[in-house]
Amino acid sequence: MEKYAWKATIVDGCIEEYKRRHDNLPDEMKKVLHDAGICNYTIWNVGNELFGYYECRYGAEFAAKVQNESPVVKKWDEYMADILIMEKDPVTGAQPLLKKVFTFD
């Protein structure tokens, strides 16, 4: 299973709102993530920085494609735009993949 990690920044003072929105993640968004083969998804924060990690049942390229083509994800991105600063890869439309520098199994 392919692993995917990303980072983003929360607008100052918005971490509690970010958490609230994710606590109420719409079922339609959960379905897109499931259909994309995304599992074991976790997001951490320190200060205003976010670090996300998930695993891709069908590969990161497939997960990015499903998300990039989804009107649900576009709607979610618009909903989050006022509290989240996130780069998007111009090719995949996904968050830029962090480069792995260490693994310990």
In this structure, the chain runs to a length of: 105
Catalytic residue among 22, 30, 31, 74: 22
Task: Give CA–CA dist 48/5, Å, rounded.
Answer: 17
Q: Is 34 a catalytic residue?
A: no
- Write the secondary structure of 33-92 as one string of H (helix), E (strand) and C (coil): HHHCCEEEEEEEEECCEEEEEEEECCCHHHHHHHHHCCHHHHHHHHHHCCCEECCCCCCC
* Residues tagged active-site: 22
